[in-house]
């Protein structure tokens, strides 16, 4: 197999058929030896039915139906595990990124034979002020806290060699953040500036974005735990100095400072800080709890491909 195309389905019904037509036409300009892998990530709409109808019409289509919604990055990793092409093109099917980017990426990887990944970077981050600023903050914090830096404003579109994909899917952690795993995997990567179109809505709600941020930071950095230690040291130092000051004041000047406002503010501050630090430790402990059980990060209900029946992992 020369080329595999991997995409994920979640509320994707309005886009699947157009995506299929455009990506098929683009792939045929490159090679006749290709496959299109649709990973149904527990989509509540009729995305699976549409994908199965395409599978019935075209032997080049493969459909992987997950048993429930496992989130985007885990679904994509599952699709990559089942890709058999010498080159693997990953892209979302919601048409925010043009399927025709496959040709652009293919030309670029031919120009860079020593590169293993061609990936897209947005020329300007889409969305309103909040989305742009929160995205900028996310990448800044991640790169500040993590040992492996990621390029800001990445897109889902990328074209990778088989050896890179084989190395990527060797990562078996249960909480997956693909850009971080990609950075950890290494290999030579070449960025291409692309335009990403906004479709007006996103399945990534604010809650899911915050969860992704917390997962990304705690999966690829232990610095929050180190900072908790330093915060404790600093608070102990200041409280020790303040206590010594009050003792000396009593011995040499007589009397303590009166009033409860400062005491209450200090108690609330230290109480909140303690809970925050315990929360950080709790997140890391929960990750250990999840990882040691070694559960599969996705369960496949059925794979639709020529000559294959139901299969799980």
pLDDT in tens, 147-164: 777 777 888 889 999 999
Could you tell me if residue 313 is inside a domain?
no
Are 56 and 110 in a shared domain?
A: yes
Are 72 and 121 in a shared domain?
A: yes
* DSSP 8-state code for residue 256: P
Are 22 and 165 in a shared domain?
A: yes
Grade residue 180 by pLDDT with cuts at 50, 70 and 90. Answer: confident
φ/ψ of 158, rounded to 5, equals -160, 150
**3-state SS class at 254:** coil
Angle 70-76-78 from CA coordinates, rounded to 5°: 75
Which domain range does residue 43 map to?
3-220+296-304
Are 124 and 229 in a shared domain?
A: no
Q: DSSP E strands: which ranges in 91-202?
A: 117-122, 154-161, 189-194
Is residue 42 within 8 A of residue 82, CB to CB? The reply is: no
pTM of the model: 0.74
Could you tell me if residue 66 is inside a domain?
yes
Cα→Cα distances 128→87, 132, 134, 198, Å: 35, 6, 10, 10
Nearest-angstrom CA–CA distance, 66 and 40: 6
Are 216 and 241 in a shared domain?
A: no
The alpha carbon of 163 is separated from its chain's Cα centroid by a whole number of angstroms, namely: 21
Tokens 């019904």 appear where?
13
Are 213 and 286 in a shared domain?
A: no
Could you tell me if residue 47 is inside a domain?
yes
Are 29 and 138 in a shared domain?
A: yes
Number of domains the chain is built from: 2
Strands 87-90 and 34-40: unpaired
Q: pLDDT digits over 197-253, tens only?
A: 765 555 556 677 777 777 777 776 677 777 777 777 777 777 777 767 767 776 777
Are 255 and 159 in a shared domain?
A: no
CATH number at residue 63: 3.90.550.10
């Amino acid at each position: 197999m020369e080329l595999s195309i991997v995409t994920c389905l979640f509320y994707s019904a309005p886009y699947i058929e157009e995506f299929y037509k455009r990506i098929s036409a683009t792939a045929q300009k490159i090679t006749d030896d290709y496959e299109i892998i649709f990973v149904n990530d527990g989509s509540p709409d009729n995305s699976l039915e549409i994908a199965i109808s395409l599978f019935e019409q075209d032997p080049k289509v493969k459909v992987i139906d997950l048993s429930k919604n496992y989130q985007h990055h885990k679904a994509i990793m599952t699709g990559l595990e089942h890709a058999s092409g010498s080159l693997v093109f990953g892209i979302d099917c919601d048409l925010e990124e043009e399927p025709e980017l496959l040709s652009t990426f293919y030309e670029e990887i031919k120009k860079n034979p020593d590169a293993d990944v061609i990936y897209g970077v947005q020329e300007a981050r889409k969305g309103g002020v909040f989305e742009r600023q929160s995205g900028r903050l996310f990448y800044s914090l991640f790169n500040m806290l993590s040992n492996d830096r990621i390029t800001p404003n990445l897109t889902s579109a990328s074209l990778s060699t088989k050896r890179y994909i084989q190395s990527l899917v060797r990562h078996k952690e249960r909480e997956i953040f693909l850009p971080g795993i990609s950075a950890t995997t290494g290999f030579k990567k070449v960025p291409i500036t692309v335009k990403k179109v906004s479709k007006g809505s996103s399945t990534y709600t604010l809650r899911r974005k915050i969860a992704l941020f917390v997962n990304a930071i705690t999966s690829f950095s232990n610095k929050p735990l180190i900072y908790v230690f330093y915060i404790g040291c600093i608070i102990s130092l200041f409280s020790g100095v303040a206590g010594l000051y009050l003792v000396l004041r009593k011995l040499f000047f007589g009397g303590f400072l009166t009033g409860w406002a400062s005491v209450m503010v200090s108690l609330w501050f230290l109480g909140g800080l303690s809970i925050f630090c315990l929360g950080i430790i709790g997140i890391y402990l929960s990750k250990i709890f999840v990882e040691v059980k070694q559960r599969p990060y996705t369960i496949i209900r059925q794979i639709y491909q020529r000559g294959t029946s139901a299969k799980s992992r």
